[in-house]
Structure 1
Amino acid sequence: MTDPQDAIDAAADARAEERDPRIAEQTAGEIQDGIPFIGAGPGDPGLLTVTGKELVETADLVVHAGSLVNSELLDAYCDDAEQVNSVGKDLEELVPLMRDAYEDGRDVVRLHSGDPAIYGAAVEQMDALEHEDVPTYIVPGVTSAFAASATLRTQLTLNGVANHVAFTRPQGKTLDSENDHISDFVEKGDVTVCIYLGTHAVAETMDRLVEDGADPDTPVAVVYHASWPDEDVIEGTVDTIGDRLDDAGYRASAMVVIGPAARKAGYERSYLYGDWANGSDTDSASEADD
């Protein structure tokens, strides 16, 4: 097997020279040749996509993200397949495992939590497999920010409140402090900030926001295990949420949502169902067309 980093570098060099022809030929949701990297969704088995369900039900080998994937999903849809927990396994172990099974004619599925496109570390596996002549593709899933939004019965974008959404993570072992832009996003005022992989650092993150000039009364909602049976919601502000989360005892597996949209606060009626809809505001209609 080629060293995974060499495979990643080779893939980057190839992409600099020419576009992958599959981009123009195949679309998301289409079942393709190779190993699918499937987003299992945030937790509830019902939030697995139809295509994802079809693929895992017919798989011979399912390599999954351990406890991040609901065991009920594995029991319901993957019971007849060999199941391998990827937690604790590096690329040097995972890539040959999937490659060999695929070359033996088995239907192989790689099951990530949420959506592989958001902090999924999927592409490095895919590049390493492609270097071994094993085709791969992505089947999108529901990311936890969307499940949290549904739980909160709100939108991440709201007219007059939040025109932008930032998916981010806090500084820590894998992110240097200079690359932590949470304060920058919150400072914009009309950004809903969704923090992944940061449950353990909520109090410290909120302290930094205050130090950087954020309004302490900015709404914050923390949704633990969004869509799981033990889902819990902790609400507060930049000033209070750290203590409230500490009291709840959650240190992982929660989505942190910062901004007025978390409370559906102060939004305005949209043009879509207002003057633009009945044709009485031509300026708004023109803007909507843009």
Structure 2
Amino acid sequence: MTEESDPQDAIDSAGESKADALDPRVAEYTAGQKQEGIPFIGAGPGDPGLLTLTGKELVDEADLVVHAGSLVSSELLEEHCSHAELVNSVGKDLEELIPLMRDAYEDGENVVRLHSGDPAIYGAALEQIDALEREGVPAYIVPGVTSAFASAATMRTQLTLNEVANHVAFTRPQGKTLDPEDDHIADFVGMGDVTTCIYLGTHAIPETMDRLLEHEGVDPETPVAVVYHASWPDEDVMVGTVADIGEQVEAAGYRASAMVIIGEAATGSGYERSYLYGDWANRGGDGEGDAAEYPDDGKTAEPEVDD
């Protein structure tokens, strides 16, 4: 790529413009709508059935699918993308990926960029989108199911639970990308009512648990669930505590592709009945005020209340 189209220049320029005003397309489209340009699709955690309907329609129409290698299941690629040219993005930098997608799009091909999970979570999608749009190629995001949600479904639980978990933290452990001073896992876990979901950290589970054990505010008996390959045919689940889950993962030999969920919500224990189907639902009896009104259209719906 030429100096004028350097991806870093595109990222810097886009950052400056976004700080000044929202992209006008924000007001024109909602998530899930097909738009002009290259869609960045969340392929979901693995099971092809967890690909959204919009995502399926777009990959079914694709001529070129640039995908995230083994992070996207081969079953999904075979089922939905076998008709298209497939390009594995692993090992390719922006200087190679952007011209590849740009040229195909300008040649009239339907180009799809397929990310694992949801592009909004550790997807590195925005830098590609900004670089493409600097080249005159529009792009947009089609959301997918992230592995934390698939793991919660496997565990038959919720990430938020009344009187147990009021907050959810998506994070990653310290390493090459995250400096030790930016690692807040112990802070999240120590708060007690936070469900902490650790991405990109399978290889570091033992070391992460050791650091948690050294933190005064962390109870060693805090539940931990580790879901390897959530929704894949070889999915595996390990349940333990901060004190012992590291040994389990080491014994299993997993070094990648597992979601770590820390907190009482991981096992779905200890929660209280919600207000939504308890006191709130039974208040009054005359029917007045039983539904919250939308301010714009007069429709009614269940209000947003604590779960």
The TM-score range, normalised by the shorter chain, is over 0.9
Q: What corresponds to 2:41 in structure 1? A: 38
CA distance in 2, matches of 1:102, 1:12: 24
Following superposition, the deviation at residue 208 of structure 1 comes to 0.6
1:40-64: CA deviation from partner (whole Å, max 9, x where unpaired): 0000000000000000000000000
Find the counterpart in structure 2 of residue 69 from structure 1. Answer: 72
Structure 1, residues 16-54: CA drift from partner, whole Å, max 9, x if none? 222210001111000000000000000000000000000
Q: 1:93 aligns with which of 82, 92, 96?
A: 96
For structure 2, the 5+ residue unaligned runs are 293-302
Residue 259 of structure 2 corresponds to residue 255 of structure 1: yes
Name the CA shift for 1:241/1:289 in 2 (closer, same or farther; >3 Å): closer
Question: For 1:157 and 1:38, how far apart are their aligned partners in 2?
Answer: 26
Q: Structure 1 residue aligned with 2:238, among 225, 234, 237?
A: 234
Structure with the bigger percentage of helix: 1
* Cα offset, 1:265, TM superposition: 1.4
1:99–1:132 contact (8 Å) kept in structure 2: yes
Shift of 1:257: 0.3
Task: Give the one of 129, 133, 153 matched to 2:132.
Answer: 129
Partner of 1:20: 23
Tell me the equivalent position of 2:295: none
Of 7, 10, 13, the match for 1:4: 7
The aligned amino acid for 2:110 is D
- Displacement of 1:289: 5.8
Cα–Cα, structure 1 residues 259 and 24, in superposed 2: closer, same or farther, change >3 Å?
Answer: same
TM-score, normalised via structure 2 length? 0.91
- CA–CA distance in 1 between the matches of 2:149 and 2:18? 31
SS at match of 2:56: helix
Q: Secondary structure at the match of 1:141?
A: coil
Q: Which deviations, in whole Å up to 9, do the C-alpha atoms of 1:175-196 show, x marking residues without a partner?
A: 0000000001011100000000
Partner of 2:228: 224
1:123-202 equivalence runs, <5 A? 123-202=126-205
After TM superposition, give the deviation of residue 285 of structure 1 in Å. 9.3
- Name the SS for the 1:80 alignment partner: coil
Query: Of residues 74, 83, 87 in structure 2, which corresponds to 1:84?
Result: 87
Check whether the contact 1:35–1:134 (CA below 8 A) recurs between aligned residues.
yes
Contact 1:276 1:285 in 2 (8 A): no
Query: CA RMSD for the aligned pairs?
Result: 1.6
Q: Please list every run of 5 or more consecutive structure 1 residues that lacks an aligned counterpart in the other structure.
A: none
Structure 1 distance, partners of 2:291, 2:14, is: 45
Q: Distance in 1 between matches of 2:187 and 2:304?
A: 31
Q: Deviations over 1:102-144 (max 9, x none)?
A: 0000000000000000000000000000000000000000000
Q: Where in structure 1 do 4 or more consecutive aligned residues deviate above 4 Å?
A: none
| In structure 2, C-alpha distance between the alignment counterparts of 1:197 and 1:123, rounded to whole Å | 19
* Cα distance between partner residues in 2 of 1:260 and 1:111: 33
Identity of aligned residues (%): 75
The 5-angstrom pairing of residues 266-281 of structure 1 reads 266-280=270-284
The 2-side partners of 1:121 and 1:13 are apart by: 18
Tell me how far 1:14 sits from its aligned partner: 1.4
- State the shift of 1:206 in Å: 0.6
Residue pairs, 1:100-111, within 5 angstroms: 100-111=103-114
TM-score by length of 1: 0.97
